């Protein structure tokens, strides 16, 4: 797999790990130049339609979830029968490895991790998506300490039409009782799983274990977990209360929402009293507002203090981890009750003295976050304080018109008469979505973040936009939206390739119009002379046919027409002209000439008697003209032979004919065409 490139884009560089149905690789996105993680379905599952559907569902579900605590999904697809998902590459280690290497984690860090996972789940639950497989292996701890939840591989939307919606797909050590029983699930199931994760992180030990998955699942259904403090005594009672409430067997006894669980964890981190309203009597070893009360018991004849546990419903209940006869037991009960009553009376007395000493001095500031301004003012004044500065600011967590912050914070110690400043929420800040047209992916990401929104790369598409620039965005540019809104953008792969028309033989204007209508840019080049294509006609084009991207250039080459040197022209009629006139006329017309001579009794000497060609001819053709030498001499029959002399003259001998004419043959020299044979 190393070196393979998926969809001509994602080059695999190294293997990261393997899960139940897929392997995960580190890869390089060769388009955007960034490191990504590629999750590849194992080949034995690729042919299974159900697994394939789940794999696709993971991508579709996770791609819509945007949170700083959720691993982003960038892309997914199929290449050569292999299904893959492209995700954000997260540096760090998973929580399971961290616990295995270090044991129990610092309690505050456990609460921080829990709060961030709650935030991630809140985003998912807000879209009716349950994770269904929350476990420490799916929680990545980054170098900066923040976490990212990954692998929504078995998540499903509530409106899914899949038949087996209740299948037990989670990991047995972390599944909820209802998930183990194959019941319909909601967000409470994820909270239970998170409770198991926090239990393990805080104690270094699983809440339930066994020889196999079935036995572990049965324990999830039937057994209550051992309180964390009995595994690790220094566990904070408040953190223990949160974990135990999340792990209630009955979903109705857990937190109402993951946001409520997050608020409880945040309260623990801020040192505020917990508000676990709605917890059952046996839900946690602590009271609703603070540390657990203790009960007095005896063990081996010695008085001991015991924390309130599911077996101890209140301060008046006696511990049951001892044995004695009935009389002794009755005496012990009376004694215990007396001790407890005495302790309570003492506590009340001490509280009364404290109140008397404090009088109107230092007390705790009331919590007015979430209240209207009027209600907040009344609560602050009723507690003996003065309302200080009232300001406004945007808030994504508190609706407009209600208190989103206060200073000092709730439950802070403050002298009576002190000032409490409050900040009123203006609601979520709105802004205008930036125009991403023509931007590269990197430029788009920066523009979106700078405007206060969350960027999400949504994939590539064929588009009229230039390749590697933004082709489309959602929401549209200029639209008003809440700050923090996710802005999706698509990157263009360029226009779709189209057939190039063949315009060879067209005149230049028609060829240019045809190509431009097809969507191409036209470049015109001047060609050579041609006997086949008239002047102005396209004699060739590049490319000639095939496909080309819309908007790309097609070059047409236009003919200069017939070569002038080969073009037919009129031959002057030089018969009757003198030799010199004929030669000039032919030369001016572009012809060569050749002169021959003959005697004529009817044509004056030096006049052209005839020419070898008339009509039209090509420039440079040779025209032969015959010029008269005048009448012939009288003499008898005679045949003469003339020889060319070295000076160009010809000598010949002739015989007189009976009629007085003489015939003679002689060859004239080329330098003197008027020289004739002498007979």
DSSP labels, 630-678: -PPPB--S-----EE-TTS-EE---EE-TTSBEE---PPPTT-TT----
Give domain status of residue 325, yes or no. no
Q: Do 579 and 558 sit in the same domain of this protein?
A: no
Give domain status of residue 528, yes or no. yes
Q: Do 227 and 152 sit in the same domain of this protein?
A: yes
The region, left, alpha or beta by phi > 0 then psi within -120 to 50, assigned to residue 441 is: alpha
DSSP 94: E
Q: Do 121 and 52 sit in the same domain of this protein?
A: no
Predicted pLDDT of residue 672: 38
Predicted pLDDT of residue 421: 95
Predicted pLDDT of residue 634: 54
How far the first Cα of the chain sits from its last, in Å, is 108
Give domain status of residue 527, yes or no. yes
Residue in the block written with tokens 């003198």? 578
Predicted pLDDT of residue 679: 29
Which sign, positive or negative, has the C-alpha torsion 246, 247, 250, 251? positive
Question: What burial class does residue 664 get, using C-beta atoms within 10 Å of its C-beta: 0-12 exposed, 13-18 middle, 19+ buried?
Answer: buried
Give domain status of residue 455, yes or no. yes
Q: Is the pLDDT higher at 167 or at 153? A: 153
Question: What burial class does residue 466 get, using C-beta atoms within 10 Å of its C-beta: 0-12 exposed, 13-18 middle, 19+ buried?
Answer: middle
Q: Is the peptide bond before 36 cis (omega within 30 degrees of 0)?
A: no
Q: Do 509 and 584 sit in the same domain of this protein?
A: no
Predicted pLDDT of residue 323: 30
Domain boundary among 445, 460, 492: 492
39 annotated as ligand-binding: yes
Q: Which of 58-67, 147-156, 365-374, 530-539 has the lowest mean pLDDT?
A: 147-156
Q: Which of 76-80, 156-160, 622-626 has the lowest mean pLDDT?
A: 156-160
Q: Do 236 and 265 sit in the same domain of this protein?
A: yes
Q: Do 485 and 502 sit in the same domain of this protein?
A: no
Predicted pLDDT of residue 20: 65
pLDDT band at 277 (very low <50, low <70, confident <90, very high): low
Average pLDDT of the residues in 22-40: 91
Which CATH number is 153's domain given?
A: 1.10.510.10
Average pLDDT of the residues in 464-482: 90
Q: Do 656 and 554 sit in the same domain of this protein?
A: no
Which CATH number is 24's domain given?
A: 3.30.200.20
Q: Do 185 and 233 sit in the same domain of this protein?
A: yes
Average pLDDT of the residues in 610-634: 89
Domain boundary among 88, 119, 154: 88
Q: Do 134 and 35 sit in the same domain of this protein?
A: no
Is the per-residue pLDDT at 498 higher than 80?
A: yes
Which CATH number is 391's domain given?
A: 3.30.10.20
Is the per-residue pLDDT at 334 higher than 70?
A: no
Q: Is the peptide bond before 237 cis (omega within 30 degrees of 0)?
A: no
Q: Helix 107-126 crosses helix 258-270 at what angle (to 10 degrees)?
A: 150
Calculate the average pLDDT of the chain: 78
Q: Which of 61-65, 107-111, 164-168, 572-576 has the lowest mean pLDDT?
A: 164-168
Average pLDDT of the residues in 203-229: 91
Predicted pLDDT of residue 577: 95
Q: Is the pLDDT higher at 340 or at 454? A: 454
Is the per-residue pLDDT at 317 higher than 50?
A: no
What six digits make up the tokens of 528?
């050579």
Helix, strand or coil for residue 271? coil
Give domain status of residue 305, yes or no. no
What six digits make up the tokens of 265?
């964890």
Give domain status of residue 578, yes or no. yes
Q: How many domains does the chain have?
A: 6
| CB neighbour list of residue 392: distance below 8 Å, 6 or more residues apart | 423, 424, 425, 426
pLDDT, tens digit (0-9, with 9 covering 90-100), for 76-106: 888 888 889 999 999 888 999 999 988 999 9
397 belongs to the catalytic site: no
Question: Do the Cβ atoms of 306 and 312 come closer than 8 Å?
Answer: yes
Give domain status of residue 357, yes or no. no
- CA 462 and chain centroid, separation: 14
Predicted pLDDT of residue 158: 39
Q: Is the pLDDT higher at 154 or at 645? A: 154
**For residue 606, which of 614, 615, 597 has the smallest C-alpha distance?**
597
Q: Which of 169-178, 401-410, 530-539, 581-590 has the lowest mean pLDDT?
A: 169-178
b/e map 568-602, b = 16+ CB within 10 Å: eeebbebeebebeebbebbeebbbebeeebeebee
What percentage of the chain reaches a pLDDT higher than 90? 47
Count CB-CB contacts under 10 A for residue 110: 26
Give the domain range for residue 68: 5-88
Domain boundary among 396, 425, 454: 425
Is the per-residue pLDDT at 606 higher than 60?
A: yes
Predicted pLDDT of residue 117: 97
- Sequence-distant contacts of 658-661: CB under 8 A, at least 24 apart: 660/634, 660/635, 660/636, 661/632, 661/633, 661/634, 661/635, 661/636
Element (H, E) at 539: strand 538-542
Q: Do 69 and 107 sit in the same domain of this protein?
A: no
pLDDT band at 362 (very low <50, low <70, confident <90, very high): low
Q: Do 612 and 530 sit in the same domain of this protein?
A: no
Average pLDDT of the residues in 580-598: 93
Q: Do 140 and 241 sit in the same domain of this protein?
A: yes
Q: Which of 206-220, 263-277, 653-667 has the lowest mean pLDDT?
A: 653-667
Average pLDDT of the residues in 141-170: 60
Cα separation of 419 and 365, whole Å?
10
Cα separation of 337 and 341, whole Å?
6
| CB neighbour list of residue 416: distance below 8 Å, 6 or more residues apart | 360, 361, 362, 363, 384, 385
What six digits make up the tokens of 31?
């388009």
Predicted pLDDT of residue 278: 43
Q: Which of 133, 151, 238, 267 is catalytic?
A: 133
Is the per-residue pLDDT at 324 higher than 60?
A: no
Element (H, E) at 83: strand 82-88
**For residue 586, which of 530, 531, 627 has the smallest C-alpha distance?**
627
DSSP 525: E
Give domain status of residue 298, yes or no. no
């Amino acid at each position: 797999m190393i070196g393979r490139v998926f969809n001509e884009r994602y080059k695999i560089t190294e293997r990261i790990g393997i899960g139940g149905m897929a392997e995960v690789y580190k890869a390089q996105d060769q388009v955007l130049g960034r490191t990504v993680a590629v999750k590849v379905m194992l080949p034995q599952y690729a042919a299974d339609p159900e697994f394939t559907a789940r794999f696709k569902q993971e991508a579709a579900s996770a791609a819509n979830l945007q949170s700083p605590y959720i691993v982003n999904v960038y892309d997914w697809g199929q290449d050569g029968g292999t299904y893959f998902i492209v995700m954000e590459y997260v540096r760090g280690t998973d929580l399971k490895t961290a616990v295995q290497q270090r044991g129990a984690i610092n309690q505050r860090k456990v609460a921080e991790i829990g709060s961030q996972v709650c935030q991630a789940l809140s985003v998912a639950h807000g879209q009716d998506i349950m994770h269904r497989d929350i476990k420490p292996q799916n929680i990545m701890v980054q170098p900066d300490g923040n976490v990212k939840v990954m692998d929504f591989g078995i998540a499903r939307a509530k409106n899914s039409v899949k038949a087996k919606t209740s299948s037990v797909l989670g990991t047995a050590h972390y599944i909820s009782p209802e998930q183990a029983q194959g019941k319909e699930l909601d967000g409470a199931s994820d909270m239970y799983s998170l409770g198991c994760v926090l239990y393990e992180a805080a104690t270094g030990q699983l809440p339930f274990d066994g020889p196999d998955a079935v036995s572990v699942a049965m324990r999830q259904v039937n057994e209550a977990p051992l309180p964390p403090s009995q595994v690790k005594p220094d566990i904070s009672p408040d953190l223990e209360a949160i974990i135990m409430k999340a792990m209630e067997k009955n979903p109705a006894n857990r937190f109402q929402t993951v946001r409520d669980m997050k608020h409880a964890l945040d309260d623990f981190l801020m040192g505020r009293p917990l508000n676990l309203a709605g917890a059952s009597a046996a839900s946690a070893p602590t009271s609703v507002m603070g540390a657990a009360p203790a009960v007095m018991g005896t063990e081996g004849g010695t008085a001991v203090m015991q924390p309130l546990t599911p077996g101890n419903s209140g301060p008046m209940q006696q511990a049951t981890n001892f044995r004695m006869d009935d009389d002794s037991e009755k005496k012990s009960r009376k004694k215990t009750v007396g001790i407890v009553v005495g302790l309570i009376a003492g506590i009340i007395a001490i509280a009364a003295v404290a109140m008397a000493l404090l009088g109107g001095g230092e007390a705790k500031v009331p919590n007015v976050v979430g209240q209207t301004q009027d209600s907040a003012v009344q609560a602050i004044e009723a507690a003996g304080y003065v309302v200080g500065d009232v300001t406004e600011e945007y808030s994504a967590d508190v609706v407009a018109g209600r208190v989103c912050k206060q200073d000092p914070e709730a439950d802070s110690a403050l002298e009576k008469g002190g000032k409490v400043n409050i900040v009123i929420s203006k609601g979520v800040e709105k802004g205008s979505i930036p125009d991403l047209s023509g931007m590269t992916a990197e430029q788009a990401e920066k523009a979106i973040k700078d405007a206060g929104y969350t960027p999400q790369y949504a994939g590539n598409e064929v588009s009229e936009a230039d390749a590697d620039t933004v082709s489309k965005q959602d929401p549209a540019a200029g639209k008003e939206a809440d700050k923090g809104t996710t802005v999706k953008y698509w990157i263009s792969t360029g226009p779709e390739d189209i057939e190039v028309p063949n315009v060879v033989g067209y005149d230049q204007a028609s060829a240019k119009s045809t190509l431009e209508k097809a969507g191409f840019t036209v470049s015109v080049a001047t060609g050579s002379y041609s006997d086949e294509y008239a002047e102005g006609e396209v004699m060739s084009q590049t490319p000639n046919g095939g496909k080309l991207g819309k908007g790309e250039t097609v070059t047409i080459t236009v003919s200069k027409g017939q070569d002038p040197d080969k073009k037919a022209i009129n031959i002057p009629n030089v018969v009757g002209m003198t030799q010199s006139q004929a030669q000039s006329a032919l030369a001016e017309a572009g012809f060569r000439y050749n002169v021959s001579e003959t005697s004529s009794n009817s044509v004056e000497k030096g006049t052209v008697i005839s020419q070898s060609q008339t009509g039209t001819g090509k420039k440079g053709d040779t025209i032969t003209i015959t010029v008269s030498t005048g009448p012939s001499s009288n003499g008898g029959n005679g045949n003469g032979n003339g020889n060319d002399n070295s000076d160009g003259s010809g000598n010949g001998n002739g015989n007189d004919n009976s009629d007085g004419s003489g015939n003679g043959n002689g060859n004239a020299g080329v330098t003197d065409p008027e020289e004739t044979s002498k007979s």
